[in-house]
Amino acid sequence: MECPLTSDVSVIGEHVEFLIELPEKVSFSFLGCFEMEIRSIGFVPQFEEFDGAAAMEIGGQVKFAQGTGDVNTVQINFHSLFIGLPPRGSFFPRLYMQELEVNISLGEAFKLNAVVEFRNNESEQGFLGEGVMEIPGMPVFAASFAFLRVRRSESEPWVRAWFIFVEARQVSLYIPFVELYIREIGLGFGYRYTIASIKAADEAGSLSDLIGNLRELSRTQGDLSKRDRWSVDLEGPGESLRWTIVLRALISQTSATPGAISLKWLEHIEQTLPCLFLFDAVVAFRSDLTFFMAVRAWINSNYYDYVNDVNELRERPLFSGFVLLSVRQKRFLAQISSNPNGSLGTRPPLPVFVEQAVANGQFSATILIEPALLHAELGWPNMLRWGQKIGPLDAEVSGGMIFRVSKHYLVLGISYKARGSLSFEAGLDLKIVGVRVSAHASFAWGARFIGLIDFADPTGKSALYAAIGIEIRIRIAIELWINLLFFKKTFRFSLEIGFTAGLELGLDGLTNAGLRGSGTLFISAMGRNFQVNVKLGINEGAVQTALDRTAPFLNVGLEASEVEPVPGLEGAGAAPQLAPPRPSPWLRWWWMRRRLWPSRPTKPIGSAQSRWRCCGPALPRPALPPSPEALASPPMTCL
């Protein structure tokens, strides 16, 4: 009886691993010069590298050192060799091994850790690799490389592409006068290969995507001894081939051998060595006159922390930046920014409040130069941020600055905003009687200035807009309850006070100035509210015209997000809409009594119309009482 599980066996392969560990290990000769220890055997129903045909998997470990030396692993498929049936028209079986890892350790005399990756697809064929070699008394050497033949499509011919990068680690090269030390230094060359950041710059679809990608890559681009930090750089039709040369250096403030050049690694001294800063830089130059530099920086972290990747700081720099000069794109772009996930060191440790202040801060500075454009910004409009929570107080400050010059106009802008809140609650419960008091206060203050000079008509179309505003809101609530055996009563009192004010100044041209301001004070207590609005204006049309001309420049930031309005201004900081006040308990009781127990009607007297008698002569039946919302007095307004 046959019961197929699925028509596509690869579906099962995604969830079930057909790999069985052998009860006894078996060894055989691999490539005629090495030994492979077989630890497992498996089956792959559809192997992509064999065009979907089935393959047998042999797992184990290849021994490269004769006798002892290879570091034994417990993985049953540390190395995996896939064997498939010969392709049609061929006699030899198909063999595939994606990665071949080497891990050799001869005590303290020699250590080698390397990996080779094989590529065999429609666009790439060859191998890549990386590794680290350690010999006592010598610097640690690390390298990455690739040797491939590549093509864009099956219709194009194969061409060569390769790169090699070598660096020396754990050295101390003293730089006089500036009192710095080079701890790592490397050199690389790529033929139809370049670093990942330059490749990302070529493929970016928009300026914001370019900045975001380069910022992320700048935090890891310094690890050039890893093969995935490089990318194939194949030229297009009609273009000449490109090559790239790369330099890298890691620099620290201190060293275990101060004031000297040394190749010795004094680990016991380096481990506790204070170091104020540590940074590395990558400088790349491509043959088409593309220049790129990436920088990473750490504070209070020494070189020992970097070597041992303490707190994963290698990929978590506290600050990073990049510089891109592309002649092909006619663009110069530079940025330095903080990393929200950055690692702050402890060599020496910082006070707790300083660590919190550094961790809660966020900043970025960017400059862009293109034909007929100069753009410089500091997190415009509100990307510069700092926040802190101290007990019940929670505060945040944000802002930005912009300077932009084009062939049509010049723009200068400054934005600032501060928000905070303070909350607390306290209570006392004595079973029979209790009280609870709560208070919440929030405030916001902000200012913005944007100046525009129109080169076509400086006197008539230039504009200046400035605004400042404030919002304050305070709410206090008191609740008192009495709980006796047959009696329970709760008394509540709440008070809410709010104040908003904003002032705008506009200059339309050089002579047409205007002023506009507004303020609101509102008080709400015990179901009643009181509100006062004040407005003033002098030539308000000039203010609105200046606002309309400068508003589009709020969104010209290279990474501009949603722009928040200035607190206290109309549409931005207007007083919040209060819910309709609830009538007092006595008023609600009176209204419900009138609805449920009206006065009894008497017999009609002299008329067919029903009449009501209530402690006096007959009266016509009154209309139903108004709703509670109607009973509440409307807010007083003074304009």
**pLDDT tens digits, residue range 210-230?**
999 999 999 999 999 999 999
Report pLDDT for 628: 37
Could you count the other beta carbons within 10 Å of the beta carbon of residue 28? Answer: 10
Q: Tell me: the pLDDT tens digits for 166-184?
A: 999 999 999 998 999 999 9
Report pLDDT for 382: 85
**Residue range of the domain that includes 37:** 1-97
Report pLDDT for 16: 62
471 lies in a domain?
no
Q: Work out the mean pLDDT of the chain and round it to a whole number.
A: 83
Determine the average pLDDT of the residues in 31-60: 80
Which of residues 97, 112, 130 is at a domain's end?
Answer: 97
Which of residues 97, 124, 158 is at a domain's end?
Answer: 97
562 lies in a domain?
no
Which of residues 43, 72, 97 is at a domain's end?
Answer: 97
CA distances from 500 to 443, 471, 526, 535, 615 (A): 10, 4, 22, 12, 52
Q: What's the first-to-final CA gap in the chain, in angstroms?
A: 91
| Predicted confidence (pLDDT) at residue 32 exceeds the cutoff of 80 | no
* pTM summary value: 0.77
Residues 27 and 158 in one domain: no
Residues 16 and 129 in one domain: no
361 lies in a domain?
no
Residues 35 and 134 in one domain: no
Report pLDDT for 50: 78
Determine the average pLDDT of the residues in 543-571: 84
Alpha carbons 256 and 268: distance in angstroms, whole number: 9
Residues 276 and 327 in one domain: yes
Report pLDDT for 463: 94
Residues 69 and 131 in one domain: no
Cis amide leading into 371 (omega within 30): no
Q: How many domains does the chain have?
A: 2
Residue 417's Cβ-count burial label (10 Å; 0-12, 13-18, 19+) is buried
354 lies in a domain?
no
Q: What pLDDT band is residue 83 in, cutting at 50, 70 and 90?
A: confident
| Predicted confidence (pLDDT) at residue 584 exceeds the cutoff of 70 | no
Residues 7 and 34 in one domain: yes
> What is the crossing angle of helices 207-218 and 196-203, to 10°?
170
Report pLDDT for 92: 80
Residues 203 and 66 in one domain: no
359 lies in a domain?
no
Under 8 Å between Cβ of 232 and 192:
yes
Report pLDDT for 28: 72
Residues 40 and 138 in one domain: no
| Predicted confidence (pLDDT) at residue 612 exceeds the cutoff of 70 | no
412 lies in a domain?
no
Q: Tell me: the pLDDT tens digits for 477-529?
A: 998 888 887 778 888 888 999 999 999 999 998 889 999 999 999 999 877 88
